[in-house]
Structure 1
Amino acid sequence: MKYRELGNTGRKVSEVGFGAWAIGGSWGDVSETDARSALHAALDAGTTFIDTADVYGDGRSERIIAQVLNERGGARPFVATKAGRRLSPHIAEGYTKEALTNFVDRSRDNLDTDTLDLLQLHCPPTEVFYRPEVFDALEGLVQAGKIGAYGVSVEKVEEGLKAIEYPGVASVQIIYNIFRQRPADLFFREAKAKGVAIIARVPLASGLLTGKMRADTKFAADDHRAFNRDGAAFDKGETFAGVPYDLALEVVEEIRRLTPEDTPLVQFALRWILMEDAVSVVIPGARTAEQASANTCASDLAPLPQPVMEELREIYRRRIAPYVHQFW
Structure 2
Amino acid sequence: MRQSTLGHSAVRVTELAFGAAGIGNLFTAVSDADAEQAVHAAWEAGVRFFDTAPHYGLGLSERRLGAALRTRPRPEYVVSTKVGRLLEPTPQASGGDRANGFAVPATHRRRWDFSASGVRRSIEASLERLGLDRIDVAYLHDPDDHAEQALTQAYPELAHMRDEGILGAIGVGMNQAGLLARFVRDTDIDTVLLAGRYTLLDQQGLTELLPLAAGRGVGVVIGGVFNSGLLADPRPGATFDYAAAPMDLLARALDLKAACERHGVPLRAAALRFPFGHPAVAAVLVGTRNATEIRDAAAMLRHPVPDALWTELKEHGLLPADLPTPREAG
The TM tier, using the shorter chain, reads 0.7 to 0.9
Amino acid at match of 1:289: A
Distance 1:311 1:291 in 2: 32
Could you tell me which runs of 5 or more consecutive residues in structure 1 were left unpaired when the two chains were aligned.
Answer: 218-224, 230-236, 318-328
Amino acid at match of 1:315: L
- For the residue of structure 2 that corresponds to 1:280, the secondary structure is strand
CA gap 1:298/1:193 in 2 versus in 1, 3 angstroms: farther
Residue 246 (structure 1) shift? 4.3
Contact 2:172–2:192 (CA<8 Å) still a contact in 1?
yes
Equivalent residue in structure 2 for 1:315, among 298, 314, 318 = 318
Matched, 1:139 2:143: no
1:20-59 equivalences under 5 Å are 20-59=20-59
Matched, 1:244 2:266: no
CA gap 1:304/1:279 in 2 versus in 1, 3 angstroms: farther
Partner residue, 1:119: 138
CA gap 1:141/1:290 in 2 versus in 1, 3 angstroms: same
Residue 39 (structure 1) shift? 1.6
Equivalent residue in structure 1 for 2:208, among 183, 186, 189 = 186
Distance 2:230 2:124 in 1: 36
Partner residue, 1:232: none
Equivalent residue in structure 2 for 1:215, among 223, 227, 236 = 236
Amino acid at match of 1:188: L
Distance 2:314 2:148 in 1: 34
Partner residue, 2:18: 18
Partner residue, 1:3: 3
Amino acid at match of 1:110: R
- For the residue of structure 1 that corresponds to 2:81, the secondary structure is strand
Distance 1:5 1:311 in 2: 34
Residue 296 (structure 1) shift? 1.2
Residue 159 (structure 1) shift? 0.5
Matched, 1:264 2:286: no
- For the residue of structure 2 that corresponds to 1:160, the secondary structure is helix
Q: Which moved more, 1:57-66 or 1:34-43?
A: 34-43
How many residues matched? Answer: 293
Residue 84 (structure 1) shift? 0.9
Matched, 1:153 2:154: no
Residue 126 (structure 1) shift? 4.7
Partner residue, 2:129: 110
CA gap 1:271/1:13 in 2 versus in 1, 3 angstroms: same
Deviations 1:50-98 (A, max 9, x none): 111111011111111111111344644111111113477866xx31111
Name whichever structure is richer in strand by fraction. Answer: 2
Residue 34 (structure 1) shift? 1.8
CA gap 1:82/1:74 in 2 versus in 1, 3 angstroms: closer
1:160-309 equivalences under 5 Å are 160-175=180-195, 176-211=198-233, 214-215=235-236, 237=241, 239=242, 244-260=245-261, 262-305=264-307, 306-309=310-313
Residue 309 (structure 1) shift? 4.5
Contact 1:275–1:303 (CA<8 Å) still a contact in 2?
no
The two structures have a TM-score, normalised by structure 1, of 0.80
Distance 2:13 2:299 in 1: 15
Distance 1:25 1:245 in 2: 27
Contact 2:144–2:179 (CA<8 Å) still a contact in 1?
no
Distance 1:30 1:263 in 2: 31
Distance 1:69 1:63 in 2: 10
Distance 1:26 1:247 in 2: 28
Q: Which moved more, 1:81-90 or 1:144-153?
A: 81-90
Partner residue, 1:78: 78
Amino acid at match of 1:61: S
Contact 1:199–1:280 (CA<8 Å) still a contact in 2?
yes
- For the residue of structure 2 that corresponds to 1:297, the secondary structure is helix
Distance 2:194 2:148 in 1: 15
Contact 2:139–2:171 (CA<8 Å) still a contact in 1?
yes
CA gap 1:143/1:4 in 2 versus in 1, 3 angstroms: closer
Could you tell me which runs of 5 or more consecutive residues in structure 2 were left unpaired when the two chains were aligned.
Answer: 88-108, 321-330
Contact 2:86–2:118 (CA<8 Å) still a contact in 1?
no
Residue 263 (structure 1) shift? 2.9
Residue 19 (structure 1) shift? 1.0
